[in-house]
Amino acid sequence: MKYILIIGDGMSDYPIAELGNKTPLQVAAKPNIDTIAARGKNGLIKNVPDGCTPGSDVAICAVLGYDPRIYCTGRGALEAPARNITLGTEDTAYRCNIITEENGTIADYSAGHITTKEATQLIEAVKEIYYKPGKIEFYPGLDYRHFLIMRNFTQPEQIYCSPPHDVIGQAIDDVMPKAKGPEVENNTQLLRDMIEGSRNILHNHPVNIARKKAGKRPGNLIWPWGGGKKPAMPTLKEKFGIKSAVISAVDLVRGLGIYAGMDIITVEGATGLYNTNYEGKADAAIKALETHDLVCVHVESPDEAGHVHDYKLKVRTIEDLDKRLVGRILNNIGEPYAIAVLPDHPTPVKIGTHTSDPVPFTIAAPNLKPDNVNAFDEFLAKQGGFGLVENDYLLTILLSLGKN
């Protein structure tokens, strides 16, 4: 039995007035995912445990069968291996966004989805000023997503750093890193100083001058968040005895895959945005199934559409995922397989950030009796045969089907 896991990041949503009080999943034309739902079994699954922040790190960790309360040490630490960044046991890794500040507020968590080429020049300019061997290091990543590594930097869990996508429109001064205790005040102040200092470094950088002339948002501030240390995770081979691979443009998913012992498959043109190479991901998945027991395909674009409050774009990304990726996979695999489709968490358009609500999921497999659900969305899933799953992981459920 082969296993296929497709994650449409942030697909789940709330009813939207402009869509006739329906969700993007209800409105989108998605015949392939609906077919999986009709010939499979459906339900809702709670990927974000109570008390956890509903980030993709928590949700995807759970989808892959790992307790996020144990293994989600911090977004930066989970993403770092995807950029070949080596972490020692006492090192802290932060995600370091290039963001847009306007009038003292956070205007854009992605600096207008700045390109990797532009953002790399900006992060290198910051690195030139603040780099200290064995203490402070900056590494370029993808688009607006970069890394700040603090060597021998203790107790990152005692410093609260707001995820920038959660505080759009809020005053910079109100959402600066905050120390939870006096013992980390010096480290917290160091982070605040670098944020403030980056303003002077980036304000008149040639990249930002050119972006402003072109009517684009500048990347005029760095924003570290998601600090944490390297987790100690058992691999999927150790847990389940399977050979697995993951396909994603996002460092978080790739980094989690590395910790989980999954092979990382790179697809040219995979961007993490609406213009990602859906067909390339599908073809890579089909090829990987020849040599792997499990292939996980992650698509970020619905999540990004939710963050920018664009319901039309969110519908489009779901339709592209269905037609250009899911349909292509279904039409090109022949041997017995089990397939699961789900979001990791909701990213509702009306609020523009993640929530911890349970998400719909569907699984089809040769030995799985279908329920009476004939399409895939947040409301029909409630009627599915799996019901509400609160104390199990999607991957555990999927892999168990091969044992029945």
Beta strands in 16-72 (DSSP E): 41-45
**174 φ, ψ (degrees, to nearest 5):** -80, -20
Q: How far apart are the first and last CA of the chain?
A: 11
Q: Give the tens place of pLDDT for each residue, 325-349.
A: 999 999 999 889 999 999 999 999 9
Residue in 179, 176, 218, 181 with CA at minimum distance from that of residue 193: 176
Could you give all domains of the chain from N- to C-terminal order, each with its CATH number?
A: 2-71+233-403 (3.40.720.10), 81-228 (no CATH)
In the three-class reduction of DSSP (H, G, I as helix; E, B as strand; rest coil), residue 312 is classed as helix
Helix and strand counts by DSSP (H, E) for the chain: 15, 15
Spatial CB neighbours of 29, under 8 Å, sequence gap ≥ 6: 319, 322, 323
For residues 180 and 172, the answer to whether their CB atoms sit within 8 Å is: no
Cα 317 to Cα 24, 218, 267: the distances in Å are 10, 26, 18
Alpha carbons 29 and 375: distance in angstroms, whole number = 11
pLDDT of residue 403: 66
Question: How is 360-383 classified by DSSP, letter by letter?
Answer: EEEEE-TT----S--S-STTGGGG
pLDDT of residue 272: 87
Compute the CA torsion angle 185, 188, 189, 190 (nearest 10 deg): 130
Each residue's pLDDT expressed in tens, for the chain with a length of 404 residues: 999 999 999 999 999 999 999 999 999 999 999 999 999 999 999 999 999 989 899 999 999 999 999 999 999 999 999 999 999 999 999 999 999 999 999 999 999 999 999 999 999 999 999 999 999 999 999 889 999 999 999 899 999 999 998 899 999 999 999 999 999 999 999 999 999 999 999 999 999 999 999 999 999 999 999 999 999 999 999 999 999 999 999 999 999 999 999 999 999 999 888 999 999 999 999 999 999 999 999 999 999 999 999 999 999 999 999 999 999 999 999 889 999 999 999 999 999 999 999 999 999 999 899 999 999 999 999 999 999 999 999 999 999 987 65
Sole residue written with tokens 């007035």: 17
